[in-house]
Amino acid sequence: MKHTISVLLQNKPGVLSRVTGLFSGRGFNIESLSVAQTLEQDVSCLTLVTSGEDTIIEQITKQLHKLIDVIKVTDMCEHDNVEREMALIRVKAEAHTRAEVLRIVDIFRGKVIDVGPKSYVVEITGKASKLQAVIDILRPIGIQEIVRSGTIAMTRAQKS
């Protein structure tokens, strides 16, 4: 089963490689990875998506905890949370398809962020499944390039 794990880290050189080295060294897999600074300057948040049986996930969280530079590990699947990914899609946009692409982008609440004579760059955010849906629909029109971010996630506010 897929798990999104959120890891708060000391923002120091080499910390990311401690995490990725742990995964490769112990044979855990990483499906996606995203890391950036948090509100605190010396703390980064790393979000990774991995999959495995419960025993593997338990080991992953324990081993992550063991890294000296790791502050906090949260398995997002244990919490009500929101997850997002972003994709930039360069899609063919010639005279007869330009309107169609715009319409699709609009339906998915995406944005066109670069306009070329024969293509658009489309920005879509959402869950992995939504991104996949957009890609599937745009594919027949002609996707030239895709760049996707890793997943980022946040727990929802507690309902009082």
Partner 1 sequence: MKLTGAQAFLKCLEEHGVEVIFGYPGGALIDVYDELMKNDKIHHVLTRHEQAAVHAADAYGRVKGEVGVALVTSGPGATNAVTGIASAYLDSIPLIVFTGQVPTKLIGNDAFQEVDIVGITRPITKHNYLVKDADELVPIIREAFHLAKTGRPGPVLIDMPKDVLATRITYPELKPISMRTYKPTYEPHPGQVEKACQAMLKAKKPVIYAGGGVILSNANEELTELARRLDIPVTMTLMGLGGFPGTDPLSMGMLGMHGTYFANMAVANCDLLIAVGARFDDRVTGRIDAFAPHAEIIHIDIDPSSISKNVRVDIPIVADCKNALDAINAWFARSTEFNAKACLEKNRPWHEQIKEWKIKHPLGYVEETDIIKPQFVIQKLHELTGGDAIITTEVGQHQMWTAQFYHFNKPRQFATSGGLGVMGYGFPAAIGAQMAAPDKIVIDIAGDGSIQMNIQELATCRQEKLPVKVAILNNGYLGMVRQWQELFYNKQYSSTVMEVAPDFVKVAEAYGAVGLRATKPSEVEPVIREALKINNTVFMDFVIAREEGVYPMVPAGKATTEMLLV
CA distance 68 to 9: 9
Per rule CB under 8 A, is residue 25 in the interface with partner 1?
Answer: yes
Q: Which is nearer to partner 1, 65 or 111 (CB)?
A: 65
Per rule CB under 8 A, is residue 125 in the interface with partner 1?
Answer: no
The pair of three-digit structure tokens given for residue 136, joined into one six-digit string: 């599937």
Per rule CB under 8 A, is residue 14 in the interface with partner 1?
Answer: yes
- Residue 69 is classified by DSSP as T
Assess contact for 73 and 64: CB atoms under 8 A.
Answer: yes
Q: Give the interface segment with partner 1, choosing from 10-18, 88-96, 98-106, 111-119 (CB under 8 A).
A: 10-18
* Rg of the chain over all Cα atoms, to the nearest angstrom: 19
| Per-residue contact flags (x/-) with partner 1 for residues 48 to 87, judged by CB under 8 A | -------x--xx--xx-xx-xxxx----------------
Query: Smallest distance, Å, CB 13 to partner 1?
Result: 8
Sign of the Cα torsion 100, 101, 106, 108 reads positive
Percent of the chain as helix, strand, coil, to the nearest 5? 30, 40, 25
* CA 100 remoteness from chain centre: 27
Q: Which is nearer to partner 1, 16 or 137 (CB)?
A: 16
Which residues form the interface with partner 1 (CB under 8 A)?
10, 14, 17-18, 21-22, 25, 55, 58-59, 62-63, 65-66, 68-71
